[in-house]
Chains A and B, each alone.
Chain A
Amino acid sequence: NAGVTQTPKFQVLKTGQSMTLQCAQDMNHNSMYWYRQDPGMGLRLIYYSASEGTTDKGEVPNGYNVSRLNKREFSLRLESAAPSQTSVYFCASSEFGPQETQYFGPGTRLLVL
């Protein structure tokens, strides 16, 4: 039982490049989330998926797209990376919603030059 896994762990991009961050959970959870964490800012919600087949914007969705591929997987795509997207990205899941415990993946450290 791996919980929530994320790939890659680290990535360096040049401005304008695209990439997809992958997230998978093996806990049969319905809800999944993408956050970013910046120094002095706290975690901020980018997108969430309440259940398979649905996605919604969070607090800071601009510059990102998501796909809930199936119940297990929720990916985050940066179409044209910008230095302002340098951050640590965390994926999380919970059984039915944020009123329950959220389980976080280990994070992806992204540097955009």
Chain B
Amino acid sequence: RKEVEQDPGPFNVPEGATVAFNCTYSNSASQSFFWYRQDCRKEPKLLMSVYSSGNEDGRFTAQLNRASQYISLLIRDSKLSDSATYLCVVNGRGGSNYKLTFGKGTLLTVNP
């Protein structure tokens, strides 16, 4: 299994749709999990951290399943402004807390 693997995408959805992204990670010792968002030719920005109990921020819901080493991001009522690449990020390679591993990203395009 690759260290962090995401849905290859791209995802093209209409406004108002619900879309879900999945991510798996290989290091069972990983402790921190995040979703970042990256707009075209821009820097990544934190969308949300992912907690064991799951967490929600408005239209966005993140879930973590440690047993399956699986992270998900659900976007409800998609907006045009949600169009971006979504990066799954996991910390801890080789026991180092400083080595974040980024997934390759999933491109989302929300269409009018």
Which A residues fall within an 8 A CB radius of B? Answer: 31, 35, 40-45, 48, 50, 56, 58-59, 90, 97-99, 101-102, 104-107
Complex Cα gap A102–B32 (Å) = 12
CB-nearest residue of chain B to A39: B104
Overall SS of chain B's interface: strand
> Can you give 25 A-B contacts (C-beta < 8 A)?
A31-B98, A35-B102, A40-B104, A42-B4, A42-B87, A42-B102, A42-B104, A43-B87, A45-B99, A48-B98, A56-B98, A58-B99, A97-B97, A97-B98, A98-B97, A98-B100, A99-B31, A101-B46, A101-B49, A102-B46, A104-B43, A104-B44, A104-B45, A106-B42, A107-B42
Known: A101-B46, A102-B44. 6 other contacts (CB 8 A): A35-B102, A58-B98, A58-B99, A98-B97, A102-B46, A106-B42
Query: Which residues on A sit within 8 Å (CB–CB) of B98?
Result: 31, 45, 48, 50, 56, 58, 97-98
Query: Which residues on B sit within 8 Å (CB–CB) of A40?
Result: 104
- Size bin of chain B's contact surface: 20 to 34
Complex Cα gap A99–B91 (Å) = 7
Overall SS of chain A's interface: loop
Q: Which of B31, B43, B91, B97 contacts A90 (CB 8 A)?
A: B43
Which B residues fall within an 8 A CB radius of A? Answer: 4, 31-32, 42-46, 49, 87, 91, 93, 97-100, 102-105
By the criterion CB–CB under 8 Å, are B44 and A43 in contact? Answer: yes
Complex Cα gap A45–B93 (Å) = 11
